[in-house]
Structure 1
């Protein structure tokens, strides 16, 4: 499972662009024998694929029981007992599966979420749910996720969510390292009862809740972070606001 970024600049150190390089036929340098063998491999792959399809009931295996094309579940159906940002009765729900230590998740929080909040959440059109998908490569992802649940007991889920991302922004770029003691310090800074919070965090009171989020995300095909379920559509990666806006508007149009 990986972090997913779809918003990185492409370039090189020399300053040369792709248009400076003359086009070269893709077959240049490939021997006729190699082309014949490659063609045979492609044909064999197609035959195997057809065999798999028919072994699962033919092309009907790609349809649901009613004979219709199978659809993704509505994002609203992916809400567990999660804290909702925005109006509970909003027409559209965005569910994010995220990792607190993932730099691309932090990028979405910093650059894109504020615009979504201003245009859609604050106006009552959309609500937003954050579900945890802690990657094994990030040692503080699980403790951070559990920390937000502990903060939620005191009515400050989103304050803790914001605090964890904001403190990482202060530290720098890329994957930022921090400690459990720092999380406890941040809890005090947002006004939590630290004795209650620390006990909750130290006993891992919400570890099963986080594990369920991870399991639910995996069951829906999530393989990396951030991943977004918007109505009936899925987006994976740190896309800019304009691309989110296009999908959100499409989904809102369906529920008018």
Structure 2
């Protein structure tokens, strides 16, 4: 478990908050845990397929044909998600994503509060204008805590302006909650994978082997797993 203040509330928030009119538009980190992900199940009540990892998320960042995939389940209000963004993500991007070795996908797991879901909507509406990752980055760059108002409706509009979005189109998307189902399904994917906190990562190798990493681990942890998986392509 990674995110103490978030635990126990994730199950209800995603299904309840998703129906809110979103914009009125009117601790210490635990020890490293690396383990195999749940096996892909072809049948059953909680079926896990490759789509559980890859669908209902962000556009791919990096080479779509990269041999290794990194999937992050995160909450924009999550403290340790923000730690990962500032301390580790840039090194992953420079060394693996920009070099075509790893592709990255972000998926929503909204477990902190209503602003988490609203922020997710902002990012997906930005995706309609091909600016998902720019909006994702500006959200984490402006993080100041949990449930303290930094992801308010007013601020989300300001962020949209700063990344150069067409505000009329973006606001219409927000008003209609266009991407509510994607966000809700992403949360359901996280729960089917039995995630209890954020951030949580899955590294999928060229052979389909999936390794789960909990928490804002240092770059070296990701590097070791990436190199192991990349070694299978040689």
* TM-score category, normalised to shorter length: 0.7 to 0.9
Task: Structure 2: state its 5+ residue gaps.
Answer: 5-26, 32-38, 42-47, 205-209
2:40, 2:155 → 1: CA distance? 49
Greater helix share, structure number: 1
Note if contact 1:109-1:165 (Cα within 8 Å) is conserved in structure 2: yes
What residue is the counterpart of 1:244 in the other structure? 222
Match of 2:94 among 106, 110, 118: 118
Q: Is 1:210 the equivalent of 2:188? A: no
Distance 2:148 2:223 in 1: 29
Q: Which residue of 2 aligns with 1:13?
A: none
Task: Classify 1:109/1:208 alpha carbon distance in 2 versus 1 (closer, same or farther; 3 Å).
Answer: same
SS of equivalent to 1:93: strand
Aligned partner of 1:80 in structure 2 is: 55
Deviations 1:6-40 (A, max 9, x none): 7479xxxxxxxxxxxxxxxxxxxxxxxxxxxxxxx
CA shift, 1:214, in A, is 0.5
Aligned-CA RMSD value: 2.6
Name 1:197's counterpart in structure 2. 170
Q: Residue 246 of structure 1: CA displacement?
A: 1.2
Is the 1:99–1:133 Cα contact (8 Å) retained in structure 2?
Answer: yes
Question: Does the residue aligned with 2:81 lie in a helix, a strand or coil?
Answer: helix
Contact kept in structure 2, 1:6 and 1:237, CA below 8 Å: no
What's 1:69 paired with? none
Larger RCO, structures 1/2 (Cα 8 Å, 6+ apart): 2
**Residues of 1 paired with 2:63 and 2:40: CA distance?**
33
Residue 64 of structure 1 deviates from its aligned partner by 9.7
User: What displacement does 1:190 show?
Assistant: 0.8
Aligned with 1:235: secondary structure?
strand
TM-score normalised to the size of structure 1?
Answer: 0.68
Task: Determine if contact 2:115/2:147 at 8 Å carries over to the other structure.
Answer: no
Aligned equivalents of 2:164 and 2:146: distance in 1? 28
Structure of higher CA gyration radius: 1
Name segments (4+ residues, structure 1) moved above 2 Å: 4-9, 173-177
Distance change >3 Å, CA 64–CA 141, structure 1 → 2: closer
Pairing partner for 1:145 from 108, 114, 120? 120
1:102 and 1:175 in contact (8 A); partners too: no
What stretches of structure 1 of length at least 5 have no aligned partner?
10-62, 66-71
Deviation (angstroms), 1:2: 5.8
Count of residues in Structure 1 that have an aligned counterpart in Structure 2:
192
The aligned residue for residue 221 of structure 1 is 194
